């Protein structure tokens, strides 16, 4: 089954997924290495990657807990960051909600990247489904492999941040959204969301500004309404 899906994907999409996997592997190594350098046992960081599987939330939770914020504060930050997955599920849920097993597995694989690739397929539901599962499964394997290797490598690295590993995730996210910024409404939504997140980051706890950045979607909603009125 996985090989049949791969054969149906064009080379350009496979190339993009391979590049994404390579970048996320570095981020996974970074997470494991930083966790180990902060005194987190390798099995704890590995278990988090396996059962949480959400890079930004894992970094946020680990950062708060290792800084003395406590378990509840760390988990709360992770949950707040993961609230962005609610609109993701609403947007691409029909791609994988085909059976109970598919819902459970597909929901666990719902991350920024799998949602982005599925949405990039547009109205082609078959292409969206293939892209979603290919990205989700490959990232899950790569992320966990990198996390394990990083956890062991972290024992020999004094300061993982000195290597710039902590900057890999933001760089990858920027690379993913750059092509979509050619659309004016998407660019306006991104600018508004960024402004809101930056403006509130000085006043609110970590994670909340990212959630408030969803305000930028108002631009997309208004634009969609105008298009409907024009079509009518």
Q: Looking at per-residue confidence, does 167 or 93 come out higher? A: 93
Half-sphere exposure of 206 (CA within 13 A, CB side): 17
Question: Does position 224 have pLDDT exceeding 60, yes or no?
Answer: no
Alpha carbon distance 155, 180 (integer Å): 40
CB neighbourhood size of 107 (10 A):
15
Q: Looking at per-residue confidence, does 73 or 201 come out higher? A: 201
Region 191-204 average pLDDT:
85
DSSP one-letter string for 59-94: HHHHHHHHTT--HHHHHHHHHHHHTTHHHHHHHHHH
Per-residue pLDDT tens digits for 93-111:
888 888 888 889 989 999 8
Half-sphere exposure of 65 (CA within 13 A, CB side): 20
What phi-psi label fits residue 112: left (phi over 0), alpha (psi between -120 and 50 degrees) or beta?
A: alpha
Distance of CA 205 to the CA centre of its chain: 20
Highest mean predicted confidence (pLDDT) among 55-59, 157-161, 162-166, 189-193: 189-193
pTM for this prediction: 0.68
Kindly report the average pLDDT of the chain as a whole number.
77
Per-residue pLDDT tens digits for 40-79:
888 888 898 999 888 777 877 777 776 666 677 777 777 7
Give the per-residue pLDDT at 24.
84
Tokens at 67, concatenated: 């800084």
Question: Does position 200 have pLDDT exceeding 80, yes or no?
Answer: yes
Per-residue pLDDT tens digits for 178-192:
766 777 887 888 888
Alpha helices, DSSP H only, in the chain?
2-8, 11-37, 42-51, 55-66, 71-82, 85-96, 100-108, 112-120, 125-153, 168-177, 184-200, 208-212, 217-231
Alpha carbon distance 222, 188 (integer Å): 12
Per-residue pLDDT tens digits for 131-157:
899 899 999 999 999 999 988 887 776
């Amino acid at each position: 089954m996985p090989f049949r899906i791969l054969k149906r994907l064009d080379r350009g999409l496979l190339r993009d997924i391979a590049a994404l996997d390579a970048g996320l592997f570095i981020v996974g190594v970074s997470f494991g290495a930083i966790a180990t350098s902060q005194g987190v046992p390798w099995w704890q960081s590995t278990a988090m990657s396996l059962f949480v599987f959400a890079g930004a939330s894992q970094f946020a939770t680990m950062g708060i807990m290792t800084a003395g914020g406590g378990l509840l504060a760390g988990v709360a930050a992770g949950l707040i960051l993961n609230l962005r997955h609610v609109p993701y599920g609403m947007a691409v849920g029909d791609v994988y909600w085909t059976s109970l097993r598919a819902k459970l597995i597909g929901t666990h694989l719902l991350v920024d990247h799998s949602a982005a690739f599925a949405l990039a397929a547009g109205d082609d539901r078959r292409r969206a489904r293939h892209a979603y599962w290919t990205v989700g499964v490959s990232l899950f394997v790569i992320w966990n492999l990198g996390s394990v290797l990083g956890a062991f490598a972290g024992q020999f690295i004094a300061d993982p941040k000195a290597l710039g590993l902590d900057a890999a995730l933001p760089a990858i996210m920027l690379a993913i959204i750059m092509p979509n910024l050619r659309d004016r409404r998407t660019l306006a939504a991104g600018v508004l969301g960024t402004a809101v997140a930056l403006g509130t980051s000085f006043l609110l706890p970590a994670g909340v500004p990212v959630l408030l950045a969803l305000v930028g979607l108002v631009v997309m909603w208004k634009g969609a309404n105008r298009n409907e009125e024009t079509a009518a």
